Every structure is written in C-alpha cells, then in structure tokens.
Structure 1
C-alpha cells in the first residue's frame, strides 16, 4: 500500500499509521461500536455533539453521500450550511488515514460503470474464456481473473486455494484448467466440494466437445483441480495438503479466521513460498496478530467494529445517491427493537429472521412479522402517534449509520496493518494491493506476501493494463 508520495509505506510509517488510527478510534469508537437498532432505545442521536446534530438533522441521502462518505476535493463539496470544525476534521481524518482502494494503472471503467472487460457485454468478461464464465456472476469473473493472474506469478510448484464458498471452485477451476497450474482446493463443506467437482466435470465435457470440433482450445488445460473436504485450523500445524514443495496459498474473501489461517500457515510452513489473500475482518483468533499492535494502548476492537468493517461503503453510497427505499429498513428495525424491549426487557439485539422486501411494507405489517419471528405477541395495537414520531427520525438514523460507515475503513485499515506488521515481524516481505475495480468489487485489497522475490510479483502487476 502506498503513501501520499506514491511509494510503499515503510514499516515505521505503517506503525505510525496504526498509532494514529487507534487514537482516532479511541475518540470516536462509541459511534462504530453502537448498534443502529438501538437508535431509539439507547437515544443514540443525543450522544452526538449538538453541533453535529444541527447540520446532519434531516440531511437528504444524496447530500449525505456527497459531503460525508465520498472522498472528493474540498472545493468540489457543496455544504448547505457551515459545518463545525470538529465534524469536518472527523471526516477528513477518516478519509486520510484509511487505505486507498483505487488501483494504479490497472484499467479503467467503461460507460456502463463496469470494468473495461465488460464494455461489450455487461455480464461477460472479455478477459475470461467462456468456459470459465458459466455459473459465475460478473463480479466474480472480474475477481477470479485478476487474482488468478496474480497467483500465476510466484514460482510455486503448486497452488492451494482455501474456501470454495461462495465461488464453488471457480477460482481453483480457472487456476487449473485456465492457467495450467497444479491446484488443490480446500473447502470445509462437503456439499460444496461435490458441487465444485460437478462443475469441473461439466467443463471437461464442454472442453472435450470443443476439441472434437477443432484441433485444440488455446490456453486451456485438461488437468483440473483436486478438491479436498477439510478444515484449515489457524491454531494447528500444517496438514498433508501443504506438504508438496514450493506452495502458493491463496484465498478469495476467506472469511473470519480462515484468512488468518492462511497467514499463520504461510509463516510456519516451510513449503509455502508465497501467499495471496483477499481478507475480510477476522473472527476469534484474527486480531491482533502483531506484537506491535497488541502493545498499542486502545488497540482493542469490539465485535461490532469488526462487523461494521465488513460493510462496503461504495454500495451504501449508491443507495444514498438513489435515495433507495431499502434505507427505510434501518428505521424499521430500530422501531421494532423498542417494541421487543417493551414486551420483554430481557430481550436485546435479537437476530430477527430476514423479512422479505421489508422496505415495501407498512410498519404495522413489518412489526407484526418481526414480533412473530422472535416469539412475541404481535396482536397488540400500536400507538400511531409514537410510530409517526419514530418514522420521522428515519433520515437521522441513516446519518448516524453513515457516520459509523465513515469509520469502517479505518477499522479495516488497522486490521490489515496488523497483518502486514505481523508478517514483517516474522521477517517476510508483503504488500497490500488494491487489485479489483473498487466500484465493481469494493472488497478489493489483496495482501501479497513472499518469502523471497516479492518484487517480481509486483513488477508483473505494474505491467498489467
């Protein structure tokens, strides 16, 4: 990851950035730690500085996106009123300290808002052989092409991919059939392993059919991946599938402790020479990993902070810009929480089963379904005046959630810094690269590590369109 100079951050600069982020989170962590469903029960709006309330109250969603979440030049932002310096500083600091998601020199965006590879067909990547596009959504096509080409670079004899879900072996299939690599794909769910194996057979059948018509299909191998049903434990030593010499470990959106397992096996297993990982915020064992971050005052992150860091700010900005009716569900769920606690104060933050198209329902119907889902009486009449008063707060709830999302990239940056510092503490080279098109695939930061020769991987990336 590069700094303002365009050069990679040194270890000391990474440590200072971690210090700065922990300081900011110590000041404003109560926002990111708050549950928006408790907006009414815990009076969250009144916990904001009064000067913030004054400028954010009833601010339209498109303006919230423009003046708060989107990172633009100050002269490009139009404020309807004068904002307090504390809120301007909060916004500027959050944008400045978070890692950038903008790739450098890796292709543009076409007129339809998608990467250039979808210029001709918005659902089919021009870079990916049609054989590898079956069952794969456009976003995943973009990701497996980019990560696959990156995984091709390290001089490894074999590749181990971890976590087939939700890609059902698409990455491992491209690496094996498309790039001719020796691939072992590990997935904990045997049903997904069976599905991935089925898709492999479909591809081989299609390939053989094509070869019967022509002499050969360029750039496609008949050797597929080996699928293994198994668990990669971050606390356990490497298993038999990590024993072949010179392995590359790779994971695409490996959730929770799975991405941490990749890091631990990379550092501990002598056979693993390189790693590429598109991580998500960690689970039980994932943070902190580095001794440096563990020693920082205020480094602890709540479960809620890690959960917020999983949200894609770019997707929420699109909802704000379009004033999506889906935004109403924030208010509905917070109102439902007041009804739940009124009926039974011991019930807090219950997991309410998803109510289909909740934003299209009247609140009365939403409340009836929601109360049923948590086993409470849904027949009691609602106080209409109280309902209307809370509904009138919808835009303030959206504003509060937007403030939390503004901090989400800082939480993610701190977690990724911790992982980078951890790898360097172990004596290994690493870099964080914004690999995917962020408007198309917001979770686009890829952690690349090697025990030797990381420069060759990065030089290959620099040469990509």
Structure 2
C-alpha cells in the first residue's frame, strides 16, 4: 500500500516538535534566510533551530563568498578562444583556475608532466598542454570520451596549423603540444607505473601500461603531478593512496565529487584519526546530501517559482518506487532537467522505467499521490535542512583526506578555488612532498586577474585551510 508523505515527513518524523510548525509555515524566502544565515523576513524561528543552523555553518570549511550577479560566468577572455570551444563557461572557470594552480605546483616542484585522471573530454588536459605548455597524460575510463578528446585535440591542431607561428587571440599564445590520451580505469592496488585496468566499455581497447610516458612517449622515470577535476566516488581516495606510496608523484591537486559512491575501503575513512572516532560512519543519505549545491539552492528559494516542484516530484516518485519494490533504493534517477515543467504523471512516466518499473501498472493520479503533491512546501523545508548539513558532511569527508595526508608527513592544504555559486564542489585538496607556501602565495593574484577577465562573473573571497 502506498504511504503518503504527510505521515512520515515533518509531523511524525525525527524533527524536534518545536521546529515543525515554523518549518511547515515558512515561505521559500524565509527558508533561504535560514539557509544563508541572514534570518528570514517575518520568520520566527525556534532558538534551537537557529543554534542548529549556526552550528552546521560553524563546523564547515568556508566555501568562499560569492558576490555579484547570480548568473553563470561568461565566456572567459582569460582563456584562448580555441580552448573555449566545446567548453561551457562553468568548465572554463574551473579549468582556468585549477590549471594555474597546477602551473604553480609545476614550478615549485620542478615537474613539467601532469597526469590528469578522469580526464573526460580532455578540456583541462588541453588547457594544461596547449595553453600552459605542460606535458600531459590524460587518463579516462570511458573509451568513447577518449576518442572525443582526441578529436578535439586534432581540431585544435588543425587550427594552429593554419597560422604562422604561435596562435594568438588570448592572453598568451598556444603551443602545438597535444596531450597523450590513455583509455583505462585506475587500479588502487597496483604499482603507480601499472595502475591501469581495461577501459569501459568492454572492447574499447587495451589499457596502456605506462601513464608516466615522457614527452617522446618513452618511459624516463621522471616525477609527475597528478590531478583529478571532480574525481567521482572512490577515484579521489585512490589517487591520494597512489600519491602517498609513489615517490614518482611529486604533488596532487584533487577536487572530489559524488560522495555517495564512496565505499568503506579505500573511500571513507582514509585517516586513522577519523576511523578512531565513535560514530564516524556516514549514511548514503548524508553522503548524497554532501553533493548538493547550497548556494544555488538558496538562490532557487529566493526566486521561488515552479523549479521547487521538482523536489516534491522526486520524493513522490521515490514513494511509488518503494511501494512497488521495497528493494529498489538509491537509484540515482534523473528523469529530466526540466521536471518542473511537466505534470507529475508525465514525470513519473519518464522516471519509473529508469527504475525498471512499468508506469502502466502504477496509479499516478490516485488520492494518495495527490496528497503527497500537496505537501510540496514541507518537502522544500526538509530539503533546506539537508542543505544546512551538506557543507558540514563534505567537510568531514575532506578533513578525513587531509588528515590522512598529514598523518604521513605530507604538506597539504584545502582551498576554495572555484566560485561556489557556479561550482558547488569547489574545495581543492593540494598535497606535496615539499612545502606549499610559495604555491599558495600567488593564488590571490591569479584570482584577481581571472576575475577581471570574467566580465559578469562575481568575485569571491577565499581562505586557505593549511594545517602544516
């Protein structure tokens, strides 16, 4: 039997009774004020709820302070036009900032070779190679993306071949130095020089065995920098483990993602410090919440409108799936990016097949479904509480990684490199075998230059978390 949301949502759920009336009657704008720590117009929040919100913010690493327009960044004039092809403005913002951090790591460590793991379509790798003149090996598990990355490289090389001398048109000329692309999956247990398993999908080609190939394709035994931009799930911890036990890796710069996919080994916890804490375990729900975009959600609350409907749709769809098959959980369904523009039956007809269920056998316009859809404001309030906790959970995951590196004597820092309004996973973990002071000292100047080049991109304040 289908159980509607009201029986287990705010009124009979685990929330303190004193919170429930205030949350149930709060407007989206008031919830946005609670989320952002700026009160709420006309809202009277229980002191215990305000203390909970303040504690959640106080326990989280600062994420940078987005300012200015809420619009995404524009095409960046700081990035060469040929490197902006096929790259969305958000990704331009990310590869430019991470690329300059890696260039500073290169200068500080004397390493000119970078291994970009989980390289996708190769946007970061192209910027590092063509734009910054580094020798880059791009590793990607999806053979189709490897082929696409190589095609984009060839397009760029053809454009460079049409010009005489270095290609201009941006803040600096490009060099005709394409990345080397390898198809393969990372093996956390293998030695660094043999860390690749066969790529996905099966048959996409054999895994290359030498991610340390030199400029001429030969193995020269030199040291490298390793990076992963939004390394999903266990990929991030695996890269840190390779860094810790591989003298060939001089430094690593890692941006995590998809924490709900973390396993208990080697994903979380990594450090002995966190593993020794009672109750350190994180549920799937907590890890999934840590992937949310707090700044974007606050803006959505302030804007109100139909976009908030998607949360209630997803909650109702989950109830339908559980009622049909209680074994189906944490499916990660994405029925569409414009769900708010659909009716719920249309949304469910897209989502149920993704869960292996036939929409024809499930009533989509019953009274129970209607009762759930009427609780949209309660779903939004509940989601707001999850967003309050999300940065604290992400902090615990990243602090565990930072402590793991500290326990082994490495120099490390955690810094909010990207604007969190556009890039919710904006905290970059940097670790090296040598001090990082010279690397971090110049990042403020880099940021100022980049902000000037992003005409409508808001500037941000940033702070470093550097427990050296």
Q: TM-score, normalised by structure 2?
A: 0.80
Q: CA deviation at 1:214?
A: 8.0
Q: CA deviation at 1:237?
A: 2.1
Q: Is the CA contact 2:352–2:359 (under 8 Å) kept in the aligned structure 1? A: yes
Q: CA deviation at 1:367?
A: 4.6
Among 47, 70, 87, the alignment partner of 1:85 is: 47
Match runs of 1:146-225 below 5 Å: 146-154=97-105, 155-165=110-120, 168-211=121-164, 218-225=172-179
Q: Is the CA contact 2:236–2:256 (under 8 Å) kept in the aligned structure 1? A: yes
* 86 and 193 in structure 1: CA distance in 2 versus 1, 3 angstrom threshold: same
Q: Secondary structure at the match of 1:270?
A: coil
The aligned length equals 411
Q: Distance in 1 between matches of 2:28 and 2:44?
A: 18
* 85 and 197 in structure 1: CA distance in 2 versus 1, 3 angstrom threshold: same
Q: Is the CA contact 2:252–2:432 (under 8 Å) kept in the aligned structure 1? A: yes
Which residues of structure 2 form unaligned runs of 5+? 194-209, 213-218, 449-468
Q: Distance in 2 between matches of 1:44 and 1:313?
A: 21
Q: CA deviation at 1:59?
A: 1.5
Match runs of 1:9-408 below 5 Å: 39-40=5-6, 42-43=8-9, 45-47=11-13, 48-67=15-34, 69-72=35-38, 77-78=39-40, 80-102=42-64, 113=71, 122=74, 124-154=75-105, 155-165=110-120, 168-211=121-164, 218-239=172-193, 240-242=210-212, 244-280=221-257, 281=259, 283-284=262-263, 285-342=266-323, 354=335, 357-367=338-348, 370=351, 374-376=356-358, 378=360, 385-408=367-390
Which position in structure 1 is the counterpart of 2:457?
none
Q: Is the CA contact 2:137–2:179 (under 8 Å) kept in the aligned structure 1? A: yes
Which position in structure 2 is the counterpart of 1:446?
428
* 418 and 272 in structure 1: CA distance in 2 versus 1, 3 angstrom threshold: same
Q: Distance in 2 between matches of 1:214 and 1:89?
A: 56
Q: Distance in 1 between matches of 2:166 and 2:322?
A: 68
Q: Distance in 2 between matches of 1:428 and 1:45?
A: 49
Q: Distance in 1 between matches of 2:235 and 2:166?
A: 43
Verify: 1:410 aligned to 2:410, yes or no: no
Q: Deviations over 1:290-309 (max 9, x none)?
A: 00000001101112211111
Q: Deviations over 1:104-146 (max 9, x none)?
A: xxxx85657455xxxxxx3x10110111000000011111111
Q: Distance in 2 between matches of 1:215 and 1:436?
A: 26
Q: Distance in 1 between matches of 2:229 and 2:166?
A: 35
Q: Deviations over 1:60-113 (max 9, x none)?
A: 11221112x1134xxxx345243222111100001111111117xxxx856574
Mean Cα deviation higher: 89-98 or 275-284: 275-284
Q: CA deviation at 1:157?
A: 3.2
Q: Distance in 1 between matches of 2:361 and 2:353?
A: 10
Q: Is the CA contact 2:335–2:350 (under 8 Å) kept in the aligned structure 1? A: no
* 52 and 193 in structure 1: CA distance in 2 versus 1, 3 angstrom threshold: same
Q: Distance in 1 between matches of 2:72 and 2:5?
A: 36
Q: Is the CA contact 2:93–2:418 (under 8 Å) kept in the aligned structure 1? A: yes
Q: CA deviation at 1:365?
A: 4.4
Q: CA deviation at 1:352?
A: 5.2
Mean Cα deviation higher: 359-368 or 405-414: 359-368
* 365 and 267 in structure 1: CA distance in 2 versus 1, 3 angstrom threshold: closer
Q: Secondary structure at the match of 1:50?
A: coil
Q: Secondary structure at the match of 1:227?
A: strand
Q: Deviations over 1:375-408 (max 9, x none)?
A: 3463676676544433321101110111011111
Q: CA deviation at 1:288?
A: 0.4
Q: Secondary structure at the match of 2:176?
A: coil
Q: Secondary structure at the match of 1:446?
A: strand
Q: Distance in 1 between matches of 2:164 and 2:302?
A: 49
Q: Deviations over 1:36-77 (max 9, x none)?
A: x9845744542211110111113111221112x1134xxxx3
Q: Secondary structure at the match of 1:408?
A: helix
Q: Secondary structure at the match of 1:219?
A: coil
Q: CA deviation at 1:251?
A: 1.1
Q: Distance in 2 between matches of 1:356 and 1:143?
A: 22
Q: Secondary structure at the match of 2:241?
A: helix
Which position in structure 1 is the counterpart of 2:205?
none
Q: TM-score, normalised by structure 1?
A: 0.81
* 93 and 109 in structure 1: CA distance in 2 versus 1, 3 angstrom threshold: closer
Which residues of structure 1 form unaligned runs of 5+? 1-36, 116-121
Q: Distance in 2 between matches of 1:57 and 1:452?
A: 53
Q: Deviations over 1:194-229 (max 9, x none)?
A: 111111111111111122798999531111111111
Which position in structure 2 is the counterpart of 1:118?
none
* 252 and 340 in structure 1: CA distance in 2 versus 1, 3 angstrom threshold: closer
Q: Distance in 1 between matches of 2:382 and 2:222?
A: 51
Q: Secondary structure at the match of 2:420?
A: coil
